[in-house]
Amino acid sequence: MYLTRVIHASSLLSSPPSTYRMKLRKKKGKMQKAEEKQNDVPLMSLNHVSRVCRAVKESIEFYSKVLGFVLIKRPESFDFDGAWLFNYGVGIHLVQSKDEEKLPTDKQRLDPMDNHISFQCEDMEAMVRKLEEMNIKYMKRSVGEGEGAAIDQLFFKDPDGFMIEICNCENMKLVPQRSIGRIKLPSDKHNPPIDLPLKQDMFLA
């Protein structure tokens, strides 16, 4: 009888009551939410990429004809030469260089490990044809074949030697390493209001 009572008492000590376990889980949940709120940053999306260039006009032509960006109005108060382009929810801001020594010196070498901006593409072969038609040197490769979904990549440079990547990176599943609550997907993306010209104004232009 005495032995039975000792075993029963020890089991109570090793296994907290269900209400106690619920309190522990609730406290842990509150701490996790507080940590996420503390680490939360009120950002919405990538707004633009700025590029210093040797010739603004040449860069406008490249980003318009090769990548499909649209020239948009920029603040008239700017007292330096440059241009703003926009498409796909992202802006490209061009600034006329005052010191060409700060620009890339090697315009030909293509290194995927170099700094670059990347654009998601829905038709890689169409992009290859476009680059070839415009006689733009590029590097093509695929990665991740053994991980369930291959990613195709194209690398080339703009007129000033800055690297650009075109890819179908969405083929690979996004696997967060921590809380998915911190990830803001494209559906949350903010786009600026667009002031489109009237149809008659487009004919007059």
Enzyme catalytic residues: 165
Count of residues in the chain = 205
186-193 long-range CB contacts below 8 Å, 24 or more apart? Answer: 186/89, 188/44, 188/45, 189/44, 189/45, 189/89, 190/44, 190/45, 191/89
Q: List % helix, strand, coil for the chain (3-state, nearest 5).
A: 35, 20, 40
Q: Which residues of 142-154 are buried (b: 16+ CB within 10 A; e: fewer)?
A: eeeeeeeeebbbb
Q: Residue 68 and residue 85: Cα distance in Å, rounded?
A: 10
